[in-house]
Amino acid sequence: MQQKELKQSLEQLHTDSYAWALHCCDGRASDAEEILQTTYLKILDHKAIYKAQSSFKTWLFAVIRFTAMDYYRTQERKQTKLTLLNNQISEAVPEIQNHSKTVLLKQTLAQLSPLQQQVLHLVFYQNCSIQAAADIMKMPVGTVRTHYKRGKQQLRKRLAQNSIFKEQL
């Protein structure tokens, strides 16, 4: 891929890339910006090379994910995914106007495993297929499909226990 074409592809995917970087950084905007900048530099300096074995978006999201993992490994920062999910749900689900529903949904999502949270984020908020999510997470598609299915089941089950959501489920 030529440098000009590479830059155009990065520009087209910037909004989605930032949202994914934000997710990978537990909602810390400054960290997400740094991760994204580092990712772009890796790509433009040819330290990460697109080999067309998957879609460009899938490859880019994988580079962002591994850059974030490297960043936190060296910084030794560990935090829950709750902060990011709170921000994302507030922005991504504007139809949930009732504050108690929003709080309940955020708390319920936070109870899922980190892998289930990541898979659900990629599929629902980033419009990735299960295969693309598997490629991004560098996991077998069957494993990702299992996390997706179990995450949805757990979310539905836990929300159904609350009278606020019973009529919608």
> Model confidence over 154-165: pLDDT tens digits?
888 888 877 655
147, 113 contact by CB (below 8 A)? yes
* Crossing angle of helices 14-24 and 82-92, rounded to 10°: 140
pLDDT tens for each residue of 112-162: 898 998 898 888 778 889 999 999 999 999 999 999 999 999 888 888 877
Task: Render the burial of 83-92: b for 16+ CB within 10 Å, e for the rest.
Answer: ebbbbbbeee
**What CATH class is the domain 3-75?**
mainly alpha
pTM of the model: 0.58
d(CA 37, CA 25): 13
Owner of token pair 């879609």: 55
| Percent of residues, the chain, with pLDDT higher than 90 | 46
d(CA 21, CA 36): 6
**What pLDDT, on the 0 to 100 scale, is given for residue 107?**
81
Show me where the domains of the chain are located: 3-75, 82-166
Q: What is the CATH number of domain 82-166?
A: 1.10.10.10
